[in-house]
A and B are shown apart, each in its own frame.
Chain A
Amino acid sequence: MTNTYDIAIIGGGIMGCGAALRIKEGGMDPVVIDQGDIGQGASGVNAGTLSMQIKRVKLMPYAIKGHHEWQLMGEKVGFKKTGGLTLAFNDREAELLQERMTMKRDAGADITFVNPKKVEEIEPHLAKKIVAASFCPDDGYANSSLSGQYYRGRLTDENIDTIERFQVSEININSNGYEISSGDQVIKATRILIACGGSTKHVAAMLGEDLPIRARINTVSVTERAPRIMNGVIGHATGLLTMKQKDNGTVLIGGGWQGKGTPEEGRGAINPETLLPNLQLAQFAVPTLSKVRVVRSWTGFEANVPDFYPLAGRLGEKDNAYILGCVRGGYTIGPYISKLMGDLILGREPEMPLFDPNRVFNEDKLI
């Protein structure tokens, strides 16, 4: 490629592709660069949960907009609105549930508290040990495996250049912008957007930016096809269990239990010491799962900063470098926040505030 793009977007997940689409729509010429195939990072391997009950209070308005984007994407991404329950199995959890869901409801999510009898109606296969529960009719899921296929199609439709299997090894800054190299291949662009998920810290460092980013290693498992034992999305007061059964009968189990490894080493590995409690908790909630066979367990990287809010804005002192990532709940919010990012890059005022990457990070005491 000898022409200079208006912007090089490092990372072909929901963040990068969403921003590319918005930017192209606005008249600029982006290129999307990915170290592998489009959409095979966190965007392609997460559990696919789209639940308002999981969203952080401050991010709720973004999540509501994000949900709407998923609804528009619809069947192509396997979007389903099933309703969802969050469960509490003891008094401490019930207290936590009450406190948190009240705040999330006040932030705009349609969450109600439901008694155990109502829970049994909604989900007859749940264990009878529930002390408290909340429900949101807007909860659901999409099929994260389809992220790659979906965005590949959209980028092709919009004639956006995509360069896959391009491992960024070096970024040179000059008066014209950026020269991004992988071996002897070089891509030139006036601007740069770093949106590469687990590799964000590593790539930002190539621009001289040292960001306090840590990669969490989330574990997800999938079962064989089973008879219908779950109707909607199921969550836990602590956030440590998510379950859903898809139309094909397979059950996806997540909850953010931590595996092993770093993005530099590979794709991470499961840790039986966390995988097994994750599966134990799943069986505790839905006892009939005990007889169902697990077919695959895997991990994916989720980058975070100490306050667990997104990085979305200009990077450092530069006026032509941007960063987008580290969203907790990036799957839900991604299609929306990437649009906002695109608007910022186009020189428009985003309709909702973004998240200054240069802020002081107050360590979140909770994890």
Chain B
Amino acid sequence: MIRRAAEITFQFDGDEFTAFDGETISAALLRSGQKNIRSAPTGAPRGMFCGMGVCQECVVEVDGKKTEACRTKVKAGLIVRKATYV
């Protein structure tokens, strides 16, 4: 049996998601079936790819900064935005 931390809620792109406190943003989104995390500069949908923080596909915005969702943890009330470009 896997025992996980308490459930919390956070926001991604204006929508509310539930997650286990301390898991990564990309894992939390994937758990809810949200695979589409970013719009590439071409407009195409992108999501988690390499899973280890190097490919930059899962980049999201937290506190105005772009960061890899696969290495950023969720916490209660965290506001995560889709990465914005020019």
Contacts and interface: CB of A to CB of B under 8 A. Distances in A.
A293 B85 contact: no
A260 B51 CA distance: 36
Contacts of B63: 291
7 contacts: A225-B85, A225-B86, A227-B84, A291-B63, A292-B66, A293-B65, A293-B66
A227 B86 contact: yes
B76 to A, nearest CB: 23
A226 B85 contact: yes
Contacts of A226: 85-86
A224 B67 CA distance: 12
B85 A249 contact: yes
B65 A247 contact: no
A118 interface: no
A3 interface: no
Contacts of B65: 291, 293
Nearest to A227: B84
B86 A247 contact: yes
B86 A228 contact: yes
A246 to B, nearest CB: 9
B86 A248 contact: yes
Contacts of A247: 86
Interface string B28-69: 000000000000010000000000000000000001111000
What is the predominant secondary structure among interface residues of chain B facing chain A? loop
Interface of B: 41, 63-66, 84-86
What is the predominant secondary structure among interface residues of chain A facing chain B? loop
Residue among B63, B65, B85 with the highest chain A CB neighbour number at 10 A: B85
A6 B83 CA distance: 56
A249 B66 CA distance: 14
Contacts of A249: 41, 85-86
Contacts of A248: 41, 86
Nearest to B65: A291
A225 B39 CA distance: 13
Contacts of A293: 65-66
B56 to A, nearest CB: 8
A102 B70 CA distance: 53
A225 B64 contact: no
Contacts of A228: 86
A226 B59 CA distance: 12
Nearest to B56: A224
Contacts of B86: 225-228, 245, 247-249
Contacts of B85: 225-227, 249
Given A227-B85, A293-B66, 9 more contacts: A224-B66, A225-B85, A227-B84, A248-B41, A249-B85, A249-B86, A291-B66, A292-B66, A293-B65
User: What 10 pairs across the A-B complex have the smallest Cβ distances?
Assistant: A249-B86, A225-B85, A291-B65, A291-B64, A249-B85, A227-B84, A228-B86, A293-B66, A227-B86, A225-B41
A144 to B, nearest CB: 20
A139 to B, nearest CB: 20
Nearest to B61: A291
B10 to A, nearest CB: 20
B13 to A, nearest CB: 16
A293 B53 CA distance: 14
Contacts of B41: 225, 248-249
A356 B63 CA distance: 57
A114 to B, nearest CB: 25
Interface in A315-351: none
Nearest to A250: B86
A124 B15 CA distance: 31
Contacts of A292: 66
Contacts of A224: 66
B64 to A, nearest CB: 5
Contacts of A291: 63-66
Interface in A202-245: 224-228, 245
